[in-house]
Amino acid sequence: MSAIIKPKDYKSLLNLQQTEQGIKLIKEFFQENLSAELRLRRVTAPLFVLKGTGINDDLNGVERAVSFPIKDMGDAKAEVVHSLAKWKRLALAKYHIESGYGLYTDMNAIRADEELDNLHSLYVDQWDWERSICAEERNIDFLKEIVNRIYAAMVRTEYLVYESYPEIKPCLPQKIHFIHAEELRCLYPEKTPKEREDAICEKYGAVFIVGIGCKLGDGKKHDGRAPDYDDYTTEGLNDLPGLNGDLLLWNEVLQRAFEISSMGIRVNQETLLSQLKEEGEEERLNYYFHQKLMAGELPLSIGGGIGQSRLCMFYLRKAHIGEIQASIWPEDMRKECLACNIELI
């Protein structure tokens, strides 16, 4: 049987037509607020990039990218993007976007190695954003300021949903709680990282976990992160390493932590070298992206991704991401969902 969470007595609060209207409402309102909060302009983004340039996001470093040959380029291989973490920084330089301003885009991706469940689909849609910063802003206080701005846009969007659909009651707290992954480990030493996320999110409702990718006191990482975009080794929260993190919400429908966004201050030349060395990935310095960064041709930046379908799923109180987006699902999962009143698009 498929690995899905089946909420007891689940029934969608909205029908299919209301759901589609709600998705449109949320996406339009939130991206306008995100743009205003962070001073971002919208740009057009690629669906695929050339293999071997180092531009594609490596996520945890093990996921395979969907690739295909390009006939008019001597069968050179293109890869469907996982996300646009590196491409956006190149775009900041190309558009000559100065410090204090940035860009965002609608990112669509295919992640063929995803383990399918309530939250994970083969198809990924998110707002990818990146903002130029100055050297003085490479600190944890600035990261927290940006997180708070994004969260403020999320709280406003939730109220809009409530105004449009009064049966959906607001549940987000007014403030987000910050904690480092090492502090979280010490708080719940017997739990797994995912169990820790559940515990802290149930307690606070909205949490930003700092230090994703750095090794913790037990020698393990809270979660993986590619070593060549987020800076997870520079001193961050409470003198612990990490200028990045994950934004999670407590999902009452699924009774679990719910990751909405991953973001962080990006590596500079020094931290790129040290993180690649630590992971044994120094050969990446031969790639186009990395050479541009080492040559000082890319601006310092902060950026991240915010899941569009996940955000809609949370606001509309849906039990499965397949109630928000059209994708491919195993037949046994479809049958299980149907038996639990979960109608996949």
Q: 193: domain CATH number?
A: 3.30.930.10
Q: Give the 3-state secondary structure of residue 84.
A: coil
Total tally of structural domains belonging to the chain:
1
Q: Provide the residue type at 91 as one letter.
A: A
pTM of the model: 0.94
Q: Measured between alpha carbons, how far is 253 from 175 in angstroms, rounded to an integer?
A: 21
Instruction: Kindly give, in sequence order, each residue whose CB lies less than 8 Å from that of residue 4, ignoring residues fewer than 6 positions away.
Output: 117, 118, 320, 333, 336, 337
* Residue 262, in any domain of the structure: yes
Going from the C-alpha of 68 to that of each of 20, 21, 53, the distances in angstroms are 33, 35, 15
Catalytic site positions:
57, 111, 126, 246, 259, 262
Give the percent of the chain with pLDDT over 70: 98
Q: pLDDT tens across 163-192, in order?
A: 999 999 999 999 999 999 999 999 999 999
Q: Give the 3-state secondary structure of residue 313.
A: helix
- Residue 57 and residue 86 in contact, taking contact as beta carbons nearer than 8 Å: yes
Across the chain, mean pLDDT equals: 94
* Residue 270, in any domain of the structure: yes
The angle that helices 16-38 and 140-164 make with each other, rounded to 10 degrees, is: 150
pLDDT-derived band at 114, boundaries 50, 70, 90: confident
Q: Measured between alpha carbons, how far is 30 from 177 in angstroms, rounded to an integer?
A: 21
Q: pLDDT tens across 28-42, in order?
A: 999 999 999 999 999
* Residue 218, in any domain of the structure: yes
Q: pLDDT tens across 227-268, in order?
A: 999 999 999 999 999 999 999 999 999 999 999 999 999 999
**112's tokens:** 């063929």
Rounding to the nearest 10 degrees, give the CA dihedral for residues 219, 223, 226, 232.
-70
* Residue 11, in any domain of the structure: no
Q: What residues does 42 pair with on adjacent strands?
A: 104
pLDDT at position 1, please?
Answer: 46
* Residue 344, in any domain of the structure: no
pLDDT at position 58, please?
Answer: 64
DSSP-assigned letters across all residues of 7-49? -TT---SS-HHHHHHHHHHHHHHHHHHHHHHHTEEE----SEE
pLDDT at position 60, please?
Answer: 56
Q: Give the 3-state secondary structure of residue 301.
A: strand
The range of the structural domain enclosing residue 275 comes to: 16-339
**282's tokens:** 């120094």
pLDDT-derived band at 62, boundaries 50, 70, 90: low
Altogether, the residues listed in the chain come to a count of: 345
* Residue 6, in any domain of the structure: no
pLDDT at position 111, please?
Answer: 86
Instruction: Kindly give, in sequence order, each residue whose CB lies less than 8 Å from that of residue 326, ignoring residues fewer than 6 positions away.
Output: 123, 345
* Residue 4, in any domain of the structure: no
